[in-house]
Amino acid sequence: SFRDITARVRAEEQRDQLLLDERRARTAAEEAVHLRDDFLSIASHELRTPLTSLQLAIQSLGQRLARGMDVERVRSAVALSGRQVKRLGDLVDMLLDVSRIQAGRLELHTTPVELRALVDEVVAHLGDQIAQSGCALAVRAEQAVIGRWDPHRLEQVVTNLLTNAIKFGERQPIDIAITREDRVARLSVTDRGIGIPAEVQAQLFERFRRGVSSKHYGGLGLGLYITRTIVEAHGGRIRLSSEVGRGSTFCVELPLSTECPGDLSS
């Protein structure tokens, strides 16, 4: 009788565990479907916005040419079209990067890189966006920091972090600091904007996760996921420190290679 009761109890425990696992799997599947649907909705909106703007710019350009050429207005319409085409290209590249990451095909092509020079290039490229944001930007680097990294991928990291700071910076100053300690390079981007609630910080680097509502702030919810993947592919890590209403600091740590200074000078 004791053996029968023990077997029955074990069978009931196994049944309960199977039911629990099934419920967890169902919940995870439902959440995945919900995230997918939300992402498709946001992605459709993000793609439609530059397409609509581009369509209007082309229509306006055609009307102006029909009435007689106004060089300045034509130049303005062409510049607007170029910006929207680039925005579309960036969105497509982001989606392709996610596809590469999921397939394990994110490749790095490393070369000696001076971090301050790379940051300066990104800042110059985003000059108009920074000016329009009203955020004063300061870059601080006490010494040259040289590492063997993929410059294109590292540009993505700096661009994603800086555009995030601009988007959520509430027109307050933004600081970029570049330092090194032993064999580690550190890049930190600090804003003084809206900040990120503690309950969502841990999930912020996952796919499709957002710290704010898509109704008020654009974006696909992929930038930080791609950033984290690129940093980790270099053998580094990224950390977040944030307080609601006080701003956020994203700190990227990358390993330094001993041969980089010599390689750069050669």
pLDDT digits (tens, 9 = 90+) for 172-230: 999 999 999 989 999 999 999 999 988 888 788 887 565 555 454 555 568 898 899 99
The two tokens of residue 130 are 């920074």
For residue range 138-156, list pLDDT tens digits in order: 999 988 999 999 999 999 9
Q: List all residues 6 or more positions away from 140 whose beta carbon is below 8 Å from its beta carbon.
A: 175, 176, 177, 178
- 215-233 confidence digits (pLDDT tens): 545 555 688 988 999 999 9
Kindly report whether the global pTM for this prediction surpasses the value 0.75: no
For residue 14, how many C-alpha atoms fall within 13 Å in the half-sphere facing its CB? Answer: 6
pLDDT at 214: 46
3-state secondary structure of 39: helix
| Ramachandran bin of 58, using left for φ above 0, alpha for ψ from -120 to 50, beta for the remaining angles | alpha
Complete DSSP assignment for 71-124: HHHHHHHHHHHHHHHHHHHHHHHHHHHHHHHHTT------EEEEHHHHHHHHHH
Whether pLDDT at 81 is above 50: yes
Domains of the chain in start order, with CATH, are: 12-102 (1.10.287.130), 111-265 (3.30.565.10)
C-alpha distances (whole Å) from 95 to each of 101, 214, 216 are 10, 18, 22
